[in-house]
Amino acid sequence: MKKTIYIIMALLFANNAYAQVVDQEKLQKFIAELKALNGEHVTCVNENSSSNTYLEYPSDFLVLEVNGQNMSVTGLETSDTTFRYVSVMSEDNIGYNLINGVFEKYYDEELEDIFGIPLMACQREDGEQESLFVCGGHTLLVRDSGDDVMILYATMNIVETMQNAVRSMMEMTTEDFVDVEMFGGMDFGVHADMTALSKHPDNPYCPSADGESIMALARKIFNDNTELLESRLAKAESEEEREELTAEIAAFKEEMSEHLEDLQREFEELDVPSFIEIIPGSDVYYVAIPRVPAHLKEKQKPYAAKGIYDWINSYHSFSAGYKFGLTDIISCIITPQDVAEQYVIRHYPRNKWYDDGFTPEYKELAAVEYQGGMPAVLYSFSQNENGYNEMLRDFGDFFRRKPGEKVRGLEVTQNSENNGKRFVQLWGEGDILMCIYDSPAEKYCHMSIIVGGVSGFEQAVNEYCFGGEKDFAKRYNIVIDSDLSNNSYGIHFVNDEYFYAGKSHKNGVHIDFGYARKFTGLE
C-alpha cells in the first residue's frame, strides 16, 4: 500500500482548523469500536503521551518531498501538554472489511465532515483514497487502497503542527520548493526564495497588493511546478511513465495558461480592494487593489502611492480570515460600494439593484488621495484560541512599540494596558488609523485599519451611486462593527439616533468596534 500523502500545501496554507462542534459521544464510540477489533485480522496501536514527548506516526504517515527527495516527518512535537493517538491497520481481507464496516457505520460520504470534524483534504490516485479530517484538537486520517485500510485518530491539530514544521524547514533552505500533490492530482509548489518577487525584505513570501506583484508570484508557482514535472520526465524509467508525464505536462501548461489569463483579466477588471484566490481551489487568498491609471500615478499623494496595501499581505492572519464565518479568524474589507449595496438590497426593490459606482471626477480624486482608489475599512478578529494565537504572532510586536515610534510608516499615538488588556493605536498621513486590541483572558484579538479616516469614508459613501441613488449616509446612521449576525459583514443601518463618541447622531457613518468599552470593561 502506498504510504505517503502529499497534503503539505493544503496544511501550510489552510485557514487553520474550522470552528466546529464535535460530537464527542459518537467519536468515543467510534474509537472504542475500532480498538475492539484488535486481534488476528486487525492491528491496533493505542498510545497515551505526556508532555516532553513526541507523537511518532506509524510508518510514513506524512512525507515531504524536498529537492526531489522524500523526507519522512515522524517526530512532530505537539503544542498540547497531553495527547493520545489510536491507529488501526488491516492485516488481511477480513480485517479490511471489519475496519470499513465500523467506518461506514459512522461516515456518510455525502457529508463534508465526520462527527463535526471537517474534511480538510481528499486524494484519490491509483485506486487508493486518502482522506484527512481536522478540527481544533482532532485529526483523523483514513487511507484505503482497496486491499488494505488504515485509520489514525490523534488528539491534536495536524494543520498547526505541519504548518510549523514546514515553516521551520523553509527557514532553513533558500532553494527549491516544497512539493504538493492535491486538488485532483494537480501539483503546486511554493518556492522558498521569493525575494525577487516581493517588496517585503522582512517577509519575502508575500507579495504586495498590486496585481503585478501577485501575478509574478502566480507565474513563479506555476513555472516551478512545470520544472518539477519536467525533471520527473527526465528521470522516467519506462516509456509508459514518460508518456503519462508528457501528457500531464501538456495538460498542466494548458491549465496554467488559462488560469493566468483569467487571473490577469480579474486584476484588469478589479475596481475595489478585494481578496483574490491566487490558485484555483487552494483557498489561498491575497489582498489585491485596483490598478492606478497611468495618467494619475504621478499625481498620487505619497501615502496613496505607498501604504498599508504594500505590507498587509505579509500578515497571514488577515488573509487567512477571509473564509468568512468558517475559520479561527474572520477578516473583512468594507468599501463604500459594500455599504451602498447593502443599503439598496435592504431598502429598494430588485429593479433598482444596479451599480452605477463613483462619478469619473470622484474616481480620479480618490485615486490620487487614497491607496486602493477609495477609502476602506479593514478588520480582523479571532474566534477562538487558535485564531488568537495566530493574530498575536502577526501583530504582537505592535504592543511593544512606544508612542512616537514608527511602524510600517505609521506613528504610535497610544499604547495602553488595563488589567491585562492591551490597546495600541497608530496614525499615518492620509488619515490612516490602525487599532489593535488584545484580551489575553478572553483569548480575543481585534485589528482594524481605516483608510482615509471616518470622514473620508463617509464622503465616499455619499458619493457612491447605487440604484440611481446617492447620499446614503445622509439618510441613516450607518454603523460598521464586528456584529455579523445579519450576514452584512458588520454593516448596519439604524433609524434612531445613534450615540457614539460622546454625542447623539441623526445620520452619518460610525466605525464602532467598541474598543473603549472592551478596554475599560464598561460594555
pLDDT tens-digit map of 163-195? 555 545 444 443 333 333 332 333 333 332 333
Pick from 196, 379, 391: nearest CA to 287: 379
Q: What is the pLDDT of residue 320?
A: 82
Q: What is the pLDDT of residue 182?
A: 30
Q: What is the pLDDT of residue 369?
A: 95
Give the C-alpha separation, 394 to 405, whole Å.
Answer: 18
Chain centroid to CA 91: 40
Q: What is the pLDDT of residue 133?
A: 86
Give the C-alpha separation, 226 to 232, whole Å.
Answer: 10
pLDDT in tens, 262-278: 999 999 999 999 999 88
Pick from 398, 396, 422: nearest CA to 411: 398
Residue 214: helix, strand or coil by DSSP? helix
Q: Domain coordinates of the chain in residue numbers? A: 8-167, 186-286, 287-520
Q: What is the pLDDT of residue 349?
A: 83
Rounded to the nearest 5 degrees, what angle is found at the Cα of 365, between the Cα atoms of 360 and 366?
A: 95
Predicted confidence band at 347 (pLDDT cuts at 50, 70, 90)?
Answer: confident
- Per-residue pLDDT at 59 exceeds 50: no
pLDDT in tens, 206-217: 688 998 889 988
Specify which residues 138 forms β-bridges with: 135
pTM of the model: 0.63
First to last CA, the chain: 58
Predicted confidence band at 221 (pLDDT cuts at 50, 70, 90)?
Answer: confident
pLDDT in tens, 103-139: 999 988 777 789 888 887 777 666 678 888 887 778 8
* H or E segment to which residue 191 belongs: strand 190-191
- CA 102 vs CA 25, 71, 95, 105: distances in Å: 15, 32, 11, 5
Higher pLDDT, residue 392 or 60: 392
Query: E-strand spans in 25-82?
Result: 42-49, 63-66, 69-72
Give the C-alpha separation, 342 to 496, whole Å.
Answer: 18
Predicted confidence band at 359 (pLDDT cuts at 50, 70, 90)?
Answer: very high
- CA 6 vs CA 186, 189, 274, 473: distances in Å: 11, 11, 30, 51
Positive or negative, the Cα torsion across 331, 333, 334, 337? Answer: negative
Rounded to the nearest 5 degrees, what angle is found at the Cα of 451, between the Cα atoms of 339 and 346?
A: 5
Q: What is the pLDDT of residue 154?
A: 84
* H or E segment to which residue 267 belongs: helix 239-269
The burial class, CB within 10 Å (0-12 / 13-18 / 19+), for 84 is: middle
Specify which residues 129 forms β-bridges with: 124, 144
